[in-house]
Amino acid sequence: MPRRPVAVFAIAPWAFGGVFPADLVTRLQELVDIDPATTFTSFEGAAAAAALAEADILVTGWGAPRIDAGVLAAAPRLRAIVHAAGTVKAGVDPLVFERGVVVSSAAEANAVPVADYTMAMLVLGAKQVFSRARGYAAAVEGAPREWLRGEGTGLHDCTVGVIGASRIGRLVLRRLQSFEVEVLLYDPYVTAAEAARLGAEQVSMDDLCRRSDLVTVHAPALPETRHMLDGRRLDLLPDGAVVINTARGSLIDTEALTRSCAGGRISAILDVTDPEPLPPGHPLFSLPNVLVTPHLAGAQGRELRRLGEFAVAEVGRFLSGKPLLGQVEPEQLSYIA
Ligand SMILES: NC(=O)c1ccc[n+]([C@@H]2O[C@H](COP(=O)([O-])OP(=O)(O)OC[C@H]3O[C@@H](n4cnc5c(N)ncnc54)[C@H](O)[C@@H]3O)[C@@H](O)[C@H]2O)c1
């Protein structure tokens, strides 16, 4: 009888139950031999060595140890790393690709809640819900109630600037098609024709800033995207513009953003910051026109299961020789998250 493929879990226990509930483990066990009672966050020691010696597939997730030369040497049968979370870049040594081990990430599945969250924030941000709710809570009887009427608010007929047609950016672009808005896109990897297919007009970063009522950031953190929204570009934004960042804090110059928001000219909704977390008492926490959330847009709670489902399906595709949906190629590493 041919040997059944063997897989090994490497994922932090706090994430394991949410990403791989019992029914998904059962589905995985129909495909491979895998012990759900053992999940490694370190590959030191005899138990890890014995598991790696047999592993055809590593099913990794948050908290997985880096797959480096030592792990590869200990895992001579290893053919695939299926990562049940987003970015896998920092977790695999380039040697993994050189040895021909296939790497897959569930970034596509993690993109869904971020896109959903972004849409919610575009609607709430355009309506200035957060600052107006604060105005309501702090209202003094008899004082002017200008926050009540909402003049100049609402997403209808707005221009939305999307930075990056990344996995998340594309899902946002798709969702934006059901809103009555004009959509601009900046992405150096996308042609004007492709932008049009995505429902957007391709523009330069400066034009995007000049024309957008709302800007939503979805590019990866790379040397060339650091401070792509710097003080000069923030100054190009129209009065009353809203900046939404669910990507990475380094894409925006925090000091310049703090100055622009403190002056009241623009608002910001930030799920990510630089530094992250912000130091306690940072002005961005208390400005009435800024909402800072603790990096919660990606998969959490009930959304975690989607990562496990993606990974189980990916293991199935790998074993039956079908193309993987989340395969990461080494030449992509310079421009993906
Ligand atoms: N807030 C959260 O919880 C959360 C969760 C997941 C991802 N993220 C972040 O969201 C962002 C998007 O993630 P993803 O998985 O969709 O990314 P991705 O890997 O799909 O992004 C790659 C794409 O970004 C675009 N891009 C590359 N360089 C660019 C540049 N200089 N300017 C504009 N666009 C550029 C290209 O289209 C490229 O194909 C990343 O910054 C990621 O770290 C945040």
Asked if 44 and 21 touch (Cβ cutoff 8 Å), the reply is: no
CA 272 remoteness from chain centre: 10
CA 85 remoteness from chain centre: 10
pLDDT of 2 reads: 85
The rounded Å distance from CA 245 to ligand 1 centre is 11
Q: Which protein residue has the closest C-alpha to ligand 1 atom 24?
A: 166
Bigger pLDDT: 143 vs 291? 291
> In this predicted model, what pLDDT tens digit does every residue of 206-264 receive, in sequence order?
999 999 999 999 999 999 999 999 999 999 999 999 999 999 999 999 999 999 999 99
Asked if 254 and 225 touch (Cβ cutoff 8 Å), the reply is: no
pLDDT of 141 reads: 85
Give yes or no on whether 7-105+301-334 and 110-292 have one common fold.
yes
- Point out which residues pair with 162 in neighbouring strands: 185, 216
**Ligand 1 binding pocket includes 224 (Cβ within 6 Å):** yes
**Ligand 1 binding pocket includes 295 (Cβ within 6 Å):** yes
**Ligand 1 binding pocket includes 136 (Cβ within 6 Å):** no
Q: State the CATH class of domain 110-292.
A: alpha beta
**What are the extents of the domains in the chain?**
7-105+301-334, 110-292
Q: State the CATH class of domain 7-105+301-334.
A: alpha beta
Q: Tokens standing for 312? A: 């189980």
pTM (whole model) above 0.85: yes
The rounded Å distance from CA 132 to ligand 1 centre is 31
Q: Which protein residue has the closest C-alpha to ligand 1 atom 11?
A: 247
**Ligand 1 binding pocket includes 272 (Cβ within 6 Å):** yes
Q: Where are the alpha helices (DSSP H) in the chain?
A: 13-19, 22-31, 46-54, 69-74, 94-98, 107-126, 129-137, 146-149, 167-176, 192-197, 205-211, 231-236, 254-262, 283-286, 304-319
- Per-residue DSSP letters for 181-245? -EEEEE-TTS-HHHHHHTT-EE--HHHHHHH-SEEEE-----GGGTTSB-HHHHHHSPTT-EEEE
For residues 31-45, average pLDDT: 97
- Known catalytic residues? 248, 276, 295
For residues 2-30, average pLDDT: 97
Bigger pLDDT: 115 vs 148? 115
The number of the ligand 1 atom at minimal distance from the alpha carbon of 225 is 31
Q: Is 37 helix (H, G, I), strand (E, B) or coil?
A: coil
Q: Which protein residue has the closest C-alpha to ligand 1 atom 6?
A: 298
Whole-number Å distance between alpha carbons of 203 and 186? 6
> In this predicted model, what pLDDT tens digit does every residue of 131-164 receive, in sequence order?
999 999 988 888 778 888 899 999 999 999 999 9
